Structure 1
Amino acid sequence: MNKLATVQDPSDPQRSMIAITSDSGASNTLPESLISGGALSGLLAFRRESLDPAQNTLGLVALGIAETFNAQHQLGTDLDGVLGGAFFNSPAPTVMPAISSARVAIEDVSQLSSSDYLLTWDGTNYSMKAVGGSAIALTLQADGSYSGGGVNLSISNPSQIPPTGLLIQPTRYAASNLSVAISDPRKVAAGDPVSVAPGNYSGAVSDRIEGVKTLSVGGIDANSDGLADFSPITLSFSANAFTASSGTLERYDASAGSWVASGAYNPATDSSGARFRVTDAQGGVDYSFEFTAVGAWAS
């Protein structure tokens, strides 16, 4: 006697398919297109049209949060003064069926979409498209890999790709598989590698530097000991202008929405605050930080 049952989807082990099974144990899967009407059809339509897109979108949000948080965490220092590393481990895309020669990695979260991708091989060229959507251009990289749609593909033996193609799910299980990369609370990099000391300034207490924010820290750990090892920068104020002992000093022009090379600070008009940025890219060091000057500074 035949009966309906659920079986594992051969192309996606985490999903189930509807099948007709016999008393002998043999089963034949039913394409969803053949199941129309009734509660079962409604459930399958809900999974296909609502649940899958929602899960992909949630995964995309999770990857975006992880990337942004990691970037900020790597700008800070932990309780030992060491520059922060990744706070979250972002999961790799799911590839089905799994083939030993394929390596797929997230390359640019901003280029991802909430769609799954289908990669095919015609014996000469790769083609990739969003499932249910348009084609995705693939760019050959110097190392022989291909980039497109926010992912990087490296397949050493493309003949392993089945005729139906590889299903790539960059975001489907990202939210559930996202994990924390650190276990030691001391490694939480909540400190700023840039700090401010008053030096020999003897002006009013209300004259201050505040809102110090590190913007980039590339190359500041030249000896690879995990510590920020750039030399201190001295900020001086004279003749209504700040100067920095090294690097480039810029002031934020709010009206233009951009940074301009200037240290000008007029106590008569700027005492409520003005934003400045110092950037240095000499000797292999590439870092920048921002600060706000407040008060009626005296030259």
Structure 2
Amino acid sequence: MMSSFDSIVGEDSVAVSDYIDNAFSALQTSISDPTDSAARSNAFSNLEQLAAQYNDLAEFISDQKSLANDELSSNVDSINSLTEQIANLNQQIFKAESTAGSSANELRDQQEQLVKELSEYLDVKVSYDDNDLMTVNLASGQPLVLQSSNNELSLTTDSSNPDGEVGIELDFGSYEISIPTDELGGSVGGLIAFRNEFIPSAERMLGQQALVLADTMNEQNKLGLDADGELGINLFSLDSISVSADEGNSDKDSMVDVRLTSGSSSEVTTDTYEVVMLSDTSFKLVTYDLQGNISDESEIIDTSTATPNSDGFYEVDGFGVEVSFDSTASYSRGDSYEFVPTKTAASSIEVSARTGDDFALASPIAVEGSSSNLSDVSISIASITNTDSSSSAFTDSGGLYNAAPQTLYFTASDEVEIQDADGNVLATLSNITDYSNLLEQAGLAEDAGYDISLDGAPTAGDSFSISYNSEGESDNYNGLLLANLQTEATVGGTQSYTEAFSSLVTEVGSLTATLSTNMDSSEIIMNNSIAARDEVSAVSLDEEAVNLLRYQQSYTASAQVLSAAQSTFATLISALG
């Protein structure tokens, strides 16, 4: 199963880093001439290919999860068959040795071979009862074989876990017990570690990168004008976040909705998130790492006093998500709802823009000084932060509301009146010493969604205008900001898109190195034990043989996980290029 990791990416042409470079290189070409429709089309095509590569890698990871499940199921079947055979041999040995002078050495040899096979799957401990019949226990102490009976293992799936973690149960007939997976050893222990730890980690890290790419490019594109002079739209889309209600919730039909906070993807982690109800109206958000340890928790939010946004969602500051509640549902203290924001992002990301014309490369505003100005001071755009018609100066139809800041008239070199389209004074600044971000200084920038700066002190009587950029076909102000996203620290607030991939590779490489060291040590011990075992002539499983079985299972466990890690590492290296 693990060998398929090596074959998913066979050529440099499919490297993720190449797709990122190609997408931004094509974008740079279109930025150099925003009127070139062919360049825009090429940039659009490269963006689609980048999204498709995320999908392909996510599908590959999902396939490995399925293959691990299948192999685990097969291993459990083999274990049950082996323990049944060992138990049957106990019965045959007892009958054979009940006859005076009879020997069951051949049967014991068969039993020894079966235990050796079993030790490849699990860490087992072998002992003998008063009748000299073999007892086989798991490393954690639970019996697999007692005299002529065996207890079967079964593979379980935790449906309440967002990653569908698998586990092992031991069936005692009238009841089952769960076996600690970190004590299983052998190929089963290695596969479960691979399935429950590495696969979810890789899936979430890849998803985090796709999520941040989509969110940051969407938000920046919406701050510009496209080829038709219209405000930008989202370039990418992602599936909605799936939420699971805890089975112990008071109202089985109650549910919460969760979504990403637009523009806050840098706050989203790869953790599992849990909405925990503290009362019928208050909640907090708790995050857990893959080991189940609490990594962070939010302030308490009381929906009876907090103000939601316009569509009823409550933003959880610092976590990058928003939560809404069903007004018809009943919530009680202790109810909880779990989700992983990054889980499906890589598999679901797709380009939602229609054509290359949807790249919003131009600034939505144009600024200029009056031709009658006495000074040579220049005006420039300081920032564009919001183009939403419900919360900024921009209208849906393309333009600025009349009440928006549109003229700066200097009554003195250090005093300015900021006026709307009708000449009404919105604010006055006096004793100006810093000519940057003048709208922010006047308290108008947040509502306007834009700000401007001057490169010096004007002369009294100078004026500067701000208008909708209706003739900005050749403008590339916002395109340059889109291109800058390639190298900005957006993933987790610390890494660029490509650096985040490198972190994923580093994590796999670290695991590989650790397992390689463990495997080498196990191999040395195993080989020494084999040599010692060869000097023992008895056919029964004496102390040396039992030790050998333990070393063999340790070596096999390391080899299983190492094989998976090395294959994954090779795949990710290829995917990075």
TM-score, L = length of structure 2: 0.37
Residue in 2 that maps onto 1:228: 400
Q: 2:379 aligns with which of 193, 202, 209?
A: 209
Is this contact kept in 1: 2:243–2:258, CA < 8 A?
no
Residue in 2 that maps onto 1:133: 293
Any residues of structure 2 matched to 1:130-209 within 5 Å, and which? 130-131=287-288, 132-134=292-294, 138-142=300-304, 150-155=321-326, 156-157=328-329, 166-201=337-372, 208-209=378-379
Change (3 A) 1:33 1:8: closer
SS in 2 for 1:220: coil
Q: Give how far 1:152 is off.
A: 0.7
Structure-2 separation of matches of 1:249 and 1:100? 56
More displaced stretch, 117-126 vs 171-180: 117-126
List per-residue Cα deviations over 1:102-134 (Å, max 9, x = no partner): 242125446544321345779979786434233
Structure-1 separation of matches of 2:335 and 2:181? 18
Structure-2 separation of matches of 1:236 and 1:121? 54
Structure-2 separation of matches of 1:177 and 1:32? 34
Is this contact kept in 1: 2:284–2:301, CA < 8 A?
no
TM-score, L = length of structure 1: 0.63
Structure-1 separation of matches of 2:181 and 2:372? 77
Q: Percent identity?
A: 19
User: How many pairs align?
Assistant: 270
SS in 2 for 1:105: strand
Is 1:115 matched up with 2:115? no
More displaced stretch, 166-175 vs 285-294: 285-294
Is this contact kept in 2: 1:220–1:229, CA < 8 A?
yes
Is this contact kept in 1: 2:368–2:378, CA < 8 A?
no
Q: Give how far 1:193 is off.
A: 1.6
| Greater C-alpha radius of gyration | 2
Is this contact kept in 2: 1:249–1:262, CA < 8 A?
no
* Structure 1: stretches of 5+ with no match in the other structure: 21-27, 251-260, 266-273
Higher helix proportion (structure 1 or 2): 2
Residue in 2 that maps onto 1:288: 450
Q: Which amino acid aligns with 2:293?
A: G
Q: Give how far 1:239 is off.
A: 5.7
Q: Which amino acid aligns with 1:72?
A: Q
Is this contact kept in 2: 1:140–1:147, CA < 8 A?
no
Is this contact kept in 1: 2:165–2:196, CA < 8 A?
no
Structure-2 separation of matches of 1:236 and 1:123? 55
Q: Give how far 1:178 is off.
A: 2.8
Change (3 A) 1:175 1:78: same
Any residues of structure 2 matched to 1:1-299 within 5 Å, and which? 3=77, 10-11=159-160, 15=164, 17=166, 33=181, 36-96=184-244, 101-106=254-259, 108=261, 109=264, 112-118=268-274, 129-131=286-288, 132-134=292-294, 138-142=300-304, 150-155=321-326, 156-157=328-329, 166-201=337-372, 208-210=378-380, 213-217=383-387, 218-222=391-395, 224-230=396-402, 233-235=406-408, 240-241=413-414, 243=416, 245-246=418-419, 247-248=426-427, 263-264=432-433, 275-278=436-439, 286-293=448-455
Q: Give how far 1:173 is off.
A: 1.9
CA RMSD, Structure 1 to Structure 2 (Å): 4.9
Residue in 1 that maps onto 2:93: none
Q: Which amino acid aligns with 2:371?
A: N
Structure-1 separation of matches of 2:408 and 2:299? 49
Structure-2 separation of matches of 1:164 and 1:32? 27
Q: Give how far 1:297 is off.
A: 6.8
Structure-1 separation of matches of 2:324 and 2:207? 20
Structure-2 separation of matches of 1:242 and 1:287? 23
Structure-2 separation of matches of 1:31 and 1:164? 28
Is this contact kept in 2: 1:212–1:290, CA < 8 A?
yes
SS in 2 for 1:94: coil
Q: Give how far 1:195 is off.
A: 0.8
SS in 2 for 1:278: helix
Q: Give how far 1:77 is off.
A: 1.8
List per-residue Cα deviations over 1:213-249 (Å, max 9, x = no partner): 3234433245x42443446834456864473542557
Residue in 1 that maps onto 2:564: none
Is this contact kept in 1: 2:230–2:398, CA < 8 A?
yes
Q: Give how far 1:36 is off.
A: 1.4
More displaced stretch, 36-45 vs 131-140: 131-140
SS in 1 for 2:217: helix
Change (3 A) 1:151 1:208: closer
Change (3 A) 1:152 1:187: same
